[in-house]
A and B are shown apart, each in its own frame.
Chain A
Amino acid sequence: MTDASIDSPMMAAARAEPPVTDIVPSKGLFDLDLGAVWRYRELLLVLVMRDIRVLYKQAALGASWAVIQPLFAVAIFTVVFGYFAHMPSDGIPYPIFAFAAVLPWTYFAEATRRASTGLVDDAELVRKVYFPRLIMPVAKVLGPLVDFCIAFGILLIMMVIFNVPPTWKLLAVPPLILVATLLAFSIGLWLGPINVRFRDIKHTLPFMIQIWMYASPIVYPLSMIPDQFKLLYSLNPMVGVIEGFRWAVFDRGNPDFLVTAISATVIIVLLLGGLVFFKRMERSFADLI
């Protein structure tokens, strides 16, 4: 099973060097074996495809949910915050101001949710089949990217409607969404194993994501945050991602390098710590799940 290479059936017995697998109790703290994820890339891909297929197979409206969900959120925000509360939007029409932020946020929220509950949702697999457990959160954050791409098409259409000319800065969107992917993955590394042990995560996660959303500049602009709180505020790595999106779409201002650096540091710490934590916990997944 360590060897994912393809051999012709008849050659199996005659193969020169059969793969050797050593099974030993506990590995060192930093033995991450990230290569295993690569060796199991076929399974990773299949799991991503399964999630995408299954999600839309039974829904009558199918993949249009990827568009309806963010549009609906934007419609509510526009009415409540834009129309009733007269929330400032840095002079940009409120609907597209909100949509440029809801877009990465919807992806991030969904990826975080799935990465955190994926192990339990696929408990049957974890119990009965060996695979590097790390591919589970990886697969779960990749799946919602499809929704993101569809919704991004809507953003382009809205840019035409609201007369926002595209610039070369739109090229910053892929690296920005990669940052959101890494962040969702890192959080999944922490919450996934905890969810295996305590199913409470599944119930608390919606609140956490909701609170996090209001702690991010989605319905309001970053400029509303008083300067003395800005550094504290930017400990939330999604601030950088969302502001980056607005910068890429509306071509306003310049990215704050300090904010970006803080966000990056937070993500790296979460990621590395999460990898060690996940690898430490994964030994007991099959026993606890």
Chain B
Amino acid sequence: MSQDIAISARNLGKRYKRNARIDKHDSLRDVLQESVGALLRGGKAGKSSYETFWALEDANFDIRRGENVGIVGLNGAGKSTLLKVLSRITTPTTGSARITGRLGALLEVGTGFHQELTGRENTFLYGAILGMGRKEVESKFDAIVDFAEIGEFIDMPVKRYSSGMYVRLAFAVAAHLDPDILLLDEVLAVGDFAFQRKCMNFARQLEQKGSTILFVSHNMFSIKTMCERVIYLKRGRVVYDGPTDEGLKLYENDSRLQDAPWFQDDSAKASMAITDVKLLDENGKEAGVFDFGSRMKVRIHYRAFRPIEKPDFRVGINRSDEIHCSTFSTVADKVDIPMVQGEGMIELRTPPIQLVSDLYTATISVRERSYGRLLCAQIGGSFHVRHPVYASNAFGVYHESGEWRVPQPEQLSQTVETADGLR
């Protein structure tokens, strides 16, 4: 039985000192000051001043060979910590894990690439970093260059590469690692449209070969297509482990309302709070996927702890790569709200969605009209826009049809050829 298990984790936990990562300039002076201070106070030096927290706690799971498992969770839920422990970058504080098979970890594309070196030199460097031998890289070299589509640029220093070329080469090397078990941290979404398709094909090939893939992503679409099982982490704990659909539903429910990271919450004197946000289709049903061109309703429940005059309700739309696409605002749309107080509800009906096919989140914020001061801000759930063709890689942020003046009939056949040439 143990032959079929690729990864097995028992009571796996990782505790961090809270200061450890934040205080990067952990200078000797600070520590001396602290220990001297502790001595004077008569306490024990060191430890007492550090707050600790569990980034990962009591994780138990078995992953069978050939299984593809998605790991979901909000930021800071312990997803990356889990991958770091499994890839032995950091040691666990408690518990144990057993890895059966050659493991490749791709926590970042291009770690260790050196700007001064050529693409060829970096290929060998990166290959070795990922755990490939020189002979192995040599035998796969042509395939790597081919996959990366960089041709003769391979002998140019990578500092002259465009960011696209850089990432493509790095990914091409990683794609030829050929491990039994692959840990992926949000790295498949690189390059342009055509290259992404290649990446997905590569993942599928690995799958067919029987590789085990552990996959961290915020992109629910790719998790849905790649994984039959998800592990949902919440504040370091596994709160769900099972079939993908159910797990994602749970996760999406939980992530519907969370603090916007840029909002400074001095909750002691918070004057307003968003209590619920619902994304509805035109029939008033809750939805997570909207067709391109359909309208969306954003229903916001709020509670104002004091009377707020002329508030400005805003709904911002951000794409999954944190591009801020648009903002609806009651003030900009000249909607007059004299005052809000107590509990209430406000609903936005968007124009037909022209955003391209991708994952978006709606961020709700309320500002004081007179001073523009931010009263509250909340990330209010995510949704997909669906369209078979219009994707962000090829079509940018939004798509609207334009008017074209077409060439004369005798030139037409020529133009069709060029259009085909475009991907």
**A interface residue numbers (CB < 8 A to B):** 1, 3-6, 9-10, 12-13, 18-26, 42-43, 45-47, 50, 53-54, 57-58, 122, 124-131, 197-200, 283-284, 286-288
Contact = CB atoms under 8 A, between A and B. Distances in A.
A24 B91 CA distance: 7
Interface string B162-196: 00000000000000001110000000000000000
Interface string B55-75: 000000000000000000000
B129 A58 contact: no
B: contact size bracket: 35 or more
B111 A199 contact: no
B27 interface: yes
Interface stretch (B81-89, B230-238, B253-261, B279-287): B81-89
B345 interface: no
Interface in B84-133: 84-105, 107-108, 111-112, 114, 116-117, 121, 124-125, 128-133
A52 B92 CA distance: 35
A63 to B, nearest CB: 15
Given A18-B180, A23-B97, A46-B124, A198 B26 contact: yes
B124 A25 contact: no
Contacts of B211: 12-13
Given A50-B117, A129-B89, A22 B178 contact: no
B35 to A, nearest CB: 13
Contacts of A22: 96-99
A18 B92 contact: no
Residue of A22, A287, A288 with highest tally of chain B CB at under 10 A: A287
Given A53-B116, A130-B88, 6 more contacts: A1-B105, A12-B211, A19-B102, A20-B100, A21-B100, A50-B121
A50 B118 CA distance: 11
A25 B91 contact: yes
Contacts of A6: 133, 135-136
B129 A129 contact: yes
B103 A21 contact: yes
B112 A129 contact: yes
Residue of A10, A26, A128, A131 with highest tally of chain B CB at under 10 A: A128
B209 A1 contact: no
Contacts of A9: 178
B346 interface: no
Given A18-B102, A287-B21, A200 B28 contact: yes
B84 A125 contact: no
B16 interface: yes
A127 B185 CA distance: 13
Interface of B: 16, 20-21, 25-29, 31, 84-105, 107-108, 111-112, 114, 116-117, 121, 124-125, 128-136, 157, 178-180, 209-211
A46 B98 CA distance: 29
A129 B84 contact: no
B211 to A, nearest CB: 8
Given A128-B107, A287-B20, A287-B90, A23 B98 contact: yes
B116 A128 contact: no
B111 A57 contact: no
B102 A1 contact: yes
20 contacts: A1-B103, A6-B136, A19-B101, A21-B98, A21-B100, A23-B85, A23-B88, A23-B98, A25-B92, A46-B134, A53-B116, A122-B112, A124-B112, A129-B112, A198-B26, A198-B27, A199-B27, A200-B29, A283-B91, A288-B20
Residue of A50, A58, A286 with highest tally of chain B CB at under 10 A: A50
Contact of B134 (A42, A127, A130): A42
The 7 closest A-B pairs by CB, nearest first: A46-B128, A18-B101, A23-B97, A21-B99, A128-B111, A286-B90, A130-B88
A36 to B, nearest CB: 11
B96 A23 contact: yes
Given A13-B209, A42-B128, A129-B112, A1 B91 contact: no
A283 B133 CA distance: 25
Contacts of A19: 100-102
Contacts of B116: 53-54, 57-58
Contact of B105 (A26, A130, A200): A130
Given A50-B125, A53-B117, A3 B102 contact: yes
Nearest to A3: B102
A4 B131 contact: yes
A283 B112 contact: no
Contacts of B129: 43, 46, 125, 129, 131
B88 A21 contact: yes
Contacts of A43: 128-129, 131
B209 A20 contact: no
Contacts of A24: 91-92, 96
Nearest to B12: A23
A4 B93 CA distance: 27
A13 B210 contact: yes
